[in-house]
Chain A
Amino acid sequence: MTRSRNFVPMLVVGVVLIALYFPIMLLANYPAAARALQRGAVLECKTALECSFDMRSPIIPAPAQLLIGFSSLYFPPTSETSVPYNAFFTGLETLSGLLLASIVGLGLSVLLVASRAFERALLPWLVASQTVPIIAIAPMLAVLLGQYGVEGWIPKAIIAAYIAFFPIAIGVSKGLRSPDPIQVDLMKTYNAGSLQTFAKLRFPSSIPYLFTAFKVSVTAALIGAIISESATISGAGLGKMLSENSRASDAVGLWLVMIGSAILGILLVSIVGWLERVVTPWQRNH
């Protein structure tokens, strides 16, 4: 029920975006097409308006161009040069990165909550780690790991995890501190040990926070995976496709890869949402 209720508004937004696409595309392409005509290029089209739909290297591709590109870049999906094939690998890297980030993030959140001194010592470094431009650190990490024979999808998952662990560590440490004081008092009246209080009160309280963090982390991890792929240009992945297409100045290809990564992002966030519904059946607003 909630499914279909969400789906219709989502489609409406999609239709609005497509309707906006035409004028924006014309605004982007018209000046370039007009300049090409002025220079006296030999073109099949006669007017700048006509040419806006038919440029070899458009700034924003026309819908017809996208459709033609779509059939060659998305089919067959099992082809090594297709968007779905590469998106599959990027998705796997992102999810393994998220798994790794959860382990690191949960560990850090426990440390952050365990002592204020630890939090003061650790937190500035965690913040610093996130301000380092990922685009600089990704190729470096890939080379570094490559020296020790770690290649393929693993360095990319590690870079995805590098971006994704931070929201998890911060979100979960807030969750671990979220129990009501009277719930903590209640555990004290049972003479519960700190381990029991953690397992039966603090950890379960933090699970909704964990999923909120996941929703932020998964999109960040996806960007991390794509950037590391485009930096290394090895194996498979959407990032690798982006790099190759931009070298070949294939604007239509770039746009189709971007659309592919947007779809992958929506898919990954809905996987997290589904997992949340399964793991936390007690939450009323599912």
Chain B
Amino acid sequence: MTNAISPLVAVNDVSMIYRTRAPNGEALETVALKNANLEINQGEFISLIGPSGCGKTTLLRLLADLIQPTSGSIGIGGKTPQQAREARAYGYVFQAPALFDWRTVMGNVMLPLEIMGYNLADRKARAENMLALVGLEKFSKNFPWQLSGGMQQRVSIARALAFEPQLLFMDEPFGALDEITRENLNLELLRLWRETGKTIIFVTHSIPEAVFLSTRVVVMTPRPGKIEKIVNVDLPHPRDFDTRESPRFFEIATEIRESLRHGHGYEGNE
């Protein structure tokens, strides 16, 4: 295999149609994603951005084999999404932390390791490492309810990283947090990405967040959900709070905002 050239993630003409029935018995079709094409290389940080109903979460769930496409094909490192899931090739961070109430912070981070059959010493060592990486080593014995929302989401990131997958899917992980916490976590996530060299696919509806984090931003529009444009983010690394104030940052943000409008037909009702 020529891994150096072929993309890590390849989405070929993928569509997702939900078929439901209206109360009057009429068959309804919702096109959540239409003819999506996307290639993602190793080590990239890709953001999927768009309003509700544009299919960004659908695309992420398709990649993770949590749902299966109506048509088209997806390759992840030369495998199907199901094979990739069975090989535990990716970590997934959900919109909510989804921590288990009855487990301590440490116990939550060790959960995937238990399921995957790591021995106790290994589980502890890895979980401690990951908690240190997200700066929560002092809270390992706490229960989730004793942590703030931002800290809970950091635990869930540590949990997703615990078995060291090379690929990380993140579905609006900071969506429920306040702006200040979100900006701090963005900075932390960028550091983590640079330190570990992982490939991250990140769903968001925040333009500044997408520009700040990504190497490329995939702009998606709804009805039907489709990929409108892929914007290259050529801001230099390492990025910090000043990055958000550079002229180039605004240029890219404006480009994304305009293509969101273009696909959405917002001009008329604004």
A residues bordering B, Cβ < 8 Å?
180, 182-183, 185-192, 196, 200-201, 204, 207, 280-284
User: Is the pair A190, B102 in contact by a Cβ cutoff of 8 Å?
Assistant: no
Q: Please give the number of chain B residues whose Cβ is less than 8 angstroms from any Cβ of chain A in the complex.
A: 23
Contact among A185, A200, A207 for B115, CB-based, below 8 A = A200
Contact among A185, A201, A280, A283 for B66, CB-based, below 8 A = A185
26 chain-A/chain-B pairs, Cβ below 8 angstroms = A180-B98, A182-B94, A182-B95, A182-B98, A183-B98, A183-B100, A185-B92, A186-B92, A187-B115, A188-B85, A189-B64, A189-B85, A189-B90, A190-B88, A190-B111, A190-B112, A191-B85, A191-B86, A196-B115, A204-B100, A204-B102, A280-B102, A281-B143, A282-B101, A282-B145, A284-B145
- 18 more contacts with CB within 8 A, not counting A186-B92, A187-B115, A196-B115, are A182-B95, A182-B96, A183-B98, A185-B92, A188-B85, A189-B64, A189-B66, A189-B90, A189-B91, A189-B92, A190-B112, A191-B85, A191-B86, A191-B88, A200-B111, A204-B100, A207-B102, A284-B145
Interface assignment of B121: CB less than 8 Å from any CB of chain A: no
Interface assignment of B1: CB less than 8 Å from any CB of chain A: no
Minimum distance in angstroms from A262 CB to a CB of chain B? 34
Interface assignment of B234: CB less than 8 Å from any CB of chain A: no
| Nearest chain B residue, comparing its CB with the CB of A183 | B98
User: Which residues from B are CB-within-8-Å of A207?
Assistant: 102
B residues bordering A, Cβ < 8 Å?
64, 66, 85-86, 88, 90-92, 94-96, 98, 100-103, 111-112, 114-116, 143, 145
Minimum distance in angstroms from A172 CB to a CB of chain B? 15
Minimum distance in angstroms from B140 CB to a CB of chain A? 15
Secondary structure class of chain B's binding surface, majority of residues: loop
User: Which residues from B are CB-within-8-Å of A182?
Assistant: 94-96, 98
User: Which residues from B are CB-within-8-Å of A201?
Assistant: 100
User: Which residues from A are CB-within-8-Å of B98?
Assistant: 180, 182-183, 186
User: Which residues from B are CB-within-8-Å of A281?
Assistant: 143
User: Which residues from B are CB-within-8-Å of A191?
Assistant: 85-86, 88, 115
Minimum distance in angstroms from A18 CB to a CB of chain B? 41
Q: How far is the CA of A200 from the CA of B101 in the complex (A)?
A: 12
User: Which residues from A are CB-within-8-Å of B94?
Assistant: 182, 185-186
| Nearest chain A residue, comparing its CB with the CB of B82 | A191
Minimum distance in angstroms from B178 CB to a CB of chain A? 21
User: Which residues from B are CB-within-8-Å of A196?
Assistant: 115
Q: How far is the CA of A192 from the CA of B117 in the complex (A)?
A: 11
Q: How far is the CA of A200 from the CA of B112 in the complex (A)?
A: 10
Q: How far is the CA of A189 from the CA of B39 in the complex (A)?
A: 22
Minimum distance in angstroms from B263 CB to a CB of chain A? 28
Minimum distance in angstroms from A198 CB to a CB of chain B? 12
Q: A280-B102, A282-B101, A284-B145 are in contact. Are A190 and B115 (CB under 8 A)?
A: yes
User: Which residues from A are CB-within-8-Å of B96?
Assistant: 180, 182
User: Which residues from A are CB-within-8-Å of B91?
Assistant: 189
Q: A185-B66, A200-B115 are in contact. Are A282 and B102 (CB under 8 A)?
A: yes
| Nearest chain A residue, comparing its CB with the CB of B169 | A189
Q: How far is the CA of A191 from the CA of B81 in the complex (A)?
A: 12
Q: How far is the CA of A283 from the CA of B145 in the complex (A)?
A: 9
The 8 A-B pairs of least Cβ separation, nearest first, read A189-B92, A182-B94, A182-B98, A282-B143, A282-B102, A204-B102, A190-B115, A192-B115
User: Is the pair B116, A190 in contact by a Cβ cutoff of 8 Å?
Assistant: yes
Q: How far is the CA of A69 from the CA of B100 in the complex (A)?
A: 54
Q: How far is the CA of A186 from the CA of B115 in the complex (A)?
A: 12
Q: A188-B85, A280-B102 are in contact. Are A200 and B114 (CB under 8 A)?
A: yes
Minimum distance in angstroms from B60 CB to a CB of chain A? 11
| Nearest chain A residue, comparing its CB with the CB of B163 | A190
User: Which residues from B are CB-within-8-Å of A183?
Assistant: 98, 100
| Nearest chain A residue, comparing its CB with the CB of B165 | A189
Q: How far is the CA of A219 from the CA of B179 in the complex (A)?
A: 51
Q: How far is the CA of A191 from the CA of B117 in the complex (A)?
A: 12
Minimum distance in angstroms from B28 CB to a CB of chain A? 22
